[in-house]
Every structure is written in structure tokens, then in C-alpha cells.
Amino acid sequence: MAELTHYINGQRVSGNSGRFGDVFNPATGEVQARVPLASKEELDIAVEIAAEAQPAWGAVNPQRRARVMMKFVDLLHRDMDKLAEVLSSEHGKTFPDAKGDVQRGLEVAEYCIGAPQMLKGEFTDSAGPGIDMYSMKQPLGVCGGITPFNFPAMIPMWMFTPAIVCGNAFILKPSERDPSVPILLAELMEEAGLPKGILQVVNGDKVSVDAMLTNPTIQSVGFVGSTPIAEYIYGTGCANGKRVQCFGGAKNHMIVMPDADMDLAADALVGSGYGAAGERCMAISVAVPVGEETADRLIEKLVPRVEKLKVGPYTAGDDIDFGPVVTSAAKQNILSLVQSGIDQGAELVVDGRDFSLQGYEDGFFVGAHLFDRVTPEMDIYKKEIFGPVLSTVRAGSYEEAIGLAMNHEYGNGTAIFTRDGDTARDFANRINIGMVGVNVPIPVPLAYHTFGGWKKSVFGDLNQHGPDAFKFYTRTKTVTSRWPSGIKEGGEFNFKAMD
């Protein structure tokens, strides 16, 4: 069995806390590696090294820091298949999904190549008599990030690439469920020219998270995960004087209007609801057809598509639609919520509870599920399932449909499928949700826009990537300068000339 490491000061370092976590192969259910869980002391050592390395890196001009990012992007292209292979083996997602995971992180690194433009300050000439005023965007120092299992390449890169190109050092605490890819990314950053100590990976659990939140040297913390943990990290980090951005849970609705292209809508729901086994914060988990006739037509289109979905290990190649979920506990939670939907009166029109794959009976596979006639009082509607389960809530009108999305506690993403521009425009303007798709099922913005939800899906003032990232990872300093004129002989100032 492999024993994984931390990555500190430019090298792989064995853990010395004596505590380990199991890393599974989700397709077989077997433990394939052990990951060390850091102590507070180990986290603090990494922070000390980062704090020592950061000033020299922060003094490097933005253009040279951007060149490191350019080389990093080249290396990501070179090692794309290798990274995807490792990612799939620990997470379970299909190989194309894994490559997409790396690609969306790579795109943020590409955006960060524009750091010289993004880090420019402002200048006012002659703000007063002989007075100039200008601002500078300066790095925070040492930053930290706590990332989830579902995107072990993308979300770390969403955090550390803008932080580092802004001149900060970064401590990454990835998910202990699939920790190998973040270390490979750190090694690629150093191959690209990043000095040792600027990007470090410390594996761990709540012990290392709490150490990060309370360490006075760490100036900012980013987090992506469940809402209860996001609330805890946000509250604890802010109480310790840190800049914090936390992204929590989601329950994304897709409104299907009577005039929608029903084949397009059904294909979009299948791809967004079941892709990556539903383990995406932007997955569509609730379909809301408007009108009984629309609902009947949609279900008629969905059922054969859902029944044809192929589930299997990533090693099966492109012939599968999604793989296993990440752990046995995740599988049991999904099936428990499915059972609650049945018990509470929802109609299970596609039943994936008995799914089993020959040769992989101990794997964490969950078949595709499709519910109809779900109501807002049911647990499968209220809770984030994070699995291959799509719920259909029938709405009698557009106003009822939009009200469902607006009244839910989560506000990460939403979509509407319609041919009517007025309806789409009204939806986009009125909906109280951070990311909106119009005939687009997963409205994840590209790297040069920002990613973030509303309501209990986010805690903090700034979003991920795009311009907000450069605001989050820098402080603004404003300088007011006045150079006296009229020097007297002997080198003394003529202060009267300044008046």
C-alpha cells in the first residue's frame, strides 16, 4: 500500500503526527494508499517556511511572476493525461471528466498570466498643488486554502494560481480523500520556476484546518465544501482577523417552460444532473417543468435517457457516462435520501438502488435515479444529495417555478430553458441566485468572470477567480506625495514656495 506525503519547502515530506487517513479506489472499494494527517506543529512549520520565502517572491515584478504561470500552463498541457489518470484513480470520475477538471483549473492559470494588467494601480496627477496621488496593490503575505474532494485539480488552481501570481505564498490543505494531484501540481509549479516554500501542500483534517484558521501569520483563507463547514470556517477565520471566502452547498433548479425544446432540455438535464455522478456543486438536481403537459413530455423524454446511462470504472474508457461516488459513506447517504423520497411520497420512475457491476461489487457505485412529483417539503428537495439523483417538481405557473428557486436556502446556480426572450430576461433579472444559465444547464463562468453563489451558498464578499481573485489576494495602499520646490542654497527647503 502506498504511503502519501506532504509537500513542504520543495520536497515530499512524510507525516510525523502518527495519524493517517485511508485513500480508496472508489471502483473497487479497496484502500490504495494512506495519507498523513498533519498536526498543528506540522502546519505551523509550513507557514514559517512560507513566511520566510514570501517577501522575496512578492518583490519579483508581476511580469516575471506571470512568466512562471505561463510555463506552468505549458506543463499542465504536457502532463494532462498523467494528472487525469491519478485524479480518476482516487476520485472515481471518468477520464474525460478528470481531464475537464484539470482544464478548468488550467484556464484560471491562463487568466493569471494577465497579472501585470490586473495589478496596476491608479494615479492622479496634481490632486492638489504639487500633490500626486497613487495606489498600489500589494500581496497579503501567506494565504491558505481548504479544497474539496470533487474537483481536486480545478479548485486548488482556482485558489493558488491567483494568490501566487499576486505575490503571496500559499498553504494548500486538499481533501484527504484524493490528495495526490495537488502535490503533483505543486511540483509542476516549481518546475515552472516558482521558488521553494511559496506553494506547500499540507494534508490533514480538522486539526490542520483549525491550525490554519488560528495561525496569526496566515492572512486569508479560502474554502469550498458543505454549508455547515463553510459557516464554521468563515466565522472562525473572521474571528481571528483573516480575510475569508467560503463556498457552501447548492440545490440548483432548472426551469423548463412549455415552449422549450424538450429534447434539448432533457439532454441538458441528463448531462448536468448525472455527470460526475452528481458530485458537483453546479449539478442540476431539480427539474421544474411548468404545467402538467410540459412535465409529462419532459418525463417521457427523460426516462429512456436516464435508463440508458452507463455506469462503470474510469478504466472502461469513454464508454461510460459516470463512475462511482467517492466513498462508501457517500453512497449510503445518497441511498438513504432516495429512500426518504420514497417514504415521503415521491414517485421513483427510474430506480438505481439495486445497481451492481460484475467484478466491482465492492465499489461505491450508485445507479441513476429519477424522481417525479417531488414537493418542497421532502428531504430530497431540501437537502443537497451530491449523487446521481434528479428530482422533478411540477409547477403550475412560471411564477410558482421561479418562486421555488428563489425561496430555497441555497443560491449557487440555476437555469431556464425557453424560446421566449422576455421570459428569459425576466428570469435572469429577478432570480436571487449567483450564476444563471439561459438554455445553458451548468452556468459556470469562464475564468475571466467570477464564480460564486448567493444566500447560504457563499460566505464572504468576493467570488472566486476573475477580477475578484485579484482583489481578494491583494491589499490596496494609497500614497499621497508632495515634492517641495524652491530649494534654498545650502540644501534647505523653501517651505514658503510650497504654499
Task: Return the C-alpha cell found at 109.
Answer: 492559470
Cα–Cα distance measured from residue 17 to residue 333, given in angstroms and rounded to the nearest whole number: 30
**Helix segments in 79-153, DSSP class H:** 80-91, 95-112, 115-118
Task: Return the C-alpha cell found at 216.
Answer: 496569526
Q: To 10 degrees, what angle do helices 421-430 and 398-407 make?
A: 30
Task: Return the C-alpha cell found at 328.
Answer: 462508501
208 SS3 class? helix
Q: How large is the greatest C-alpha to C-alpha distance in the chain, in angstroms?
A: 95
Cα–Cα distance measured from residue 294 to residue 393, given in angstroms and rounded to the nearest whole number: 12
- The torsion angle over the Cα atoms of residues 187, 191, 197 and 199, rounded to 10 degrees, is -50
18 SS3 class? coil
Amino acid at the residue 158: W
Amino acid at the residue 387: G
Q: Is 281 a catalytic residue?
A: yes
Contact yes or no for 177/326 (Cβ under 8 A): yes
Count other C-beta atoms under 10 Å from residue 428's C-beta: 14
Please give the backbone phi and psi of residue 305, each rounded to the nearest 5 degrees, phi first.
-65, -45
Name the pairing type of β-strands 454-455 and 410-411.
antiparallel
432 SS3 class? coil
Angle at 468 between CA 457 and CA 246, to 5 degrees: 30
* Catalytic option among 112, 143, 246, 281: 281
Cα–Cα distance measured from residue 349 to residue 335, given in angstroms and rounded to the nearest whole number: 15
Cα–Cα distance measured from residue 189 to residue 56, given in angstroms and rounded to the nearest whole number: 17
Cα–Cα distance measured from residue 430 to residue 444, given in angstroms and rounded to the nearest whole number: 19
Instruction: For residue 361, give every residue at least 6 positions away whose Cβ sits within 8 Å of its Cβ, in sequence order, or none.
Output: none
Strand-pairing partners, residue 135, are: 478
Cα–Cα distance measured from residue 164 to residue 147, given in angstroms and rounded to the nearest whole number: 16
Catalytic residues: 281
